[in-house]
Amino acid sequence: MSIDVILLTAILILLVIGVVMVYSASSIWADYKLGDSFFYLKRQALFAIVGLVLIWGVLKVPYYRMIERSWWIYILCVVLLIALFIPGIGMVRGGAKSWIGVGAFSIQPSEFMKLGMILLLAYLLPKNQKTLGSFLTGFLPFLLLILFPFGLMMLQPDLGTGVVFVLTGLIMLFVAGGKVNHFLGLGILGLAGFAGLIISAPYRINRITAFLNPWEDPLGDGFQIIQSLYAIGPGGLMGLGFGNSMQKYFYLPEPQTDFIYAIIAEELGLIGGTFILSLFLIIIWRGFIIAIHAQELPATLLATGITSVFMIQVMINISVVIGLIPVTGITLPLLSYGGSSLTLTLFSLGILLNISRYAHLR
């Protein structure tokens, strides 16, 4: 049984581009801040190697073995989320306590929680598919499995990751056979709750107003999106050339993370940016093809969940960078700098490749 070569090829190309662009985006900042222009490159390359080893390892284990251990994985991820609030363990970055320090490295439990939730739903939904028609005894218990970790994410607070988490869970519930009227009612409550979350935190309101008119506060909340647009605009069709970005010279804050696509558009232009988007679309396309042609429902749900997380993160990140939605702090899969994000993304895509071995692909 062979894996999906098209999917693997797109993953590897994006991974290489990501490592190279992390260096281009971060070299000036790293040299100024850390005295080593290769600092982020070396770490991202290490994360990439670890991720590739994880892909190789996960291909050796049948995917259903991981599904069978989903409860333990889910519980461990919840424990890690709770540990963030223990004094001396959780680390604050960007105003959110979302990280646990481990020596010179740190991990982001919410990244692990996304996969933990996907595995658990892939395990439980097929066993309880007939009860999903009932809201109280079928739909609600699964909703609580999603909302409890979401609540912990909101306490950090990390609204961006929470939105990705909840949307992925709802997509899996829908694919498993959840009733449309349940989703309609939940959508109304969700919009009200989402509005409440925004109103309850002044910084979120500021992000909304900055999104509507970033030039009203160009040195404050509107700064990032303005600098992102200043990067994309001059890129034109062909770009300024690799390494020739101007916005990475301390205009766009830490451009190797959430706004790396702006640097890509500036240096590689519309052609390079479109090529990157094409690779993302190939991964999403192959992911859903694998889900459709999987031999059993747990595999379909697992592939759907992994692909949905990837798709939602790409859509949100690109939309933020080009000014379509407010800043959310969501990384761009395979491209943004970050150990937890890159290794967990590669591990998840390794599971997707594993499922492809058992699917009847065309």
Strand partners, 90: 100
**Minimal CA–CA distance to 350: which of 107, 57, 18?**
57
Strand partners, 91: 99
Of 15-19, 269-273, 280-284, 329-333, the one with minimum mean pLDDT is: 329-333
Over residues 222-239, the mean pLDDT reads: 83
Over residues 237-266, the mean pLDDT reads: 87
Judge whether 260 and 22 are in contact, CB under 8 Å. Answer: yes
Query: Does an H or E element contain 267, and which?
Result: helix 260-293
pLDDT at 183: 79
pLDDT at 133: 77
> Which one is predicted more confidently, 215 or 140?
140
pLDDT in tens, 107-132: 888 889 999 999 999 999 998 888 88
Query: Does an H or E element contain 160, and which?
Result: helix 159-176
* φ, ψ at 275 (rounded to 5°): -60, -45
pLDDT in tens, 144-157: 999 999 999 988 87
Residues 197-205: contacts with CB under 8 Å, at least 24 apart:
197/154, 197/159, 201/157, 203/95, 204/159
Q: 193 CB contacts (<8 Å, ≥6 apart)?
A: none
Judge whether 250 and 227 are in contact, CB under 8 Å. Answer: no
**Minimal CA–CA distance to 315: which of 189, 168, 151?**
168
The helices-and-strands tally (H runs, E runs) of the chain is 13, 3
Gap between the Cα atoms of 345 and 108, Å rounded: 13
Over residues 66-92, the mean pLDDT reads: 88
pLDDT at residue 103 greater than cutoff 60: no
Query: Does an H or E element contain 19, and which?
Result: helix 5-34
* φ, ψ at 101 (rounded to 5°): -80, 135
**Minimal CA–CA distance to 312: which of 204, 161, 141, 150?**
161
Which range scores top for mean pLDDT: 102-106, 205-209, 351-355? 351-355
Q: How confident is the model at residue 342 (pLDDT cuts 50, 70, 90)?
A: very high
pLDDT in tens, 155-206: 887 888 888 999 999 999 999 887 888 778 777 777 777 677 666 666 666 6
> Which one is predicted more confidently, 94 or 23?
23
Gap between the Cα atoms of 193 and 31, Å rounded: 43
* φ, ψ at 253 (rounded to 5°): -60, 130
Gap between the Cα atoms of 45 and 284, Å rounded: 24
The Cα angle at residue 259 between residues 11 and 36, in degrees rounded to 5: 85
Q: How confident is the model at residue 82 (pLDDT cuts 50, 70, 90)?
A: very high
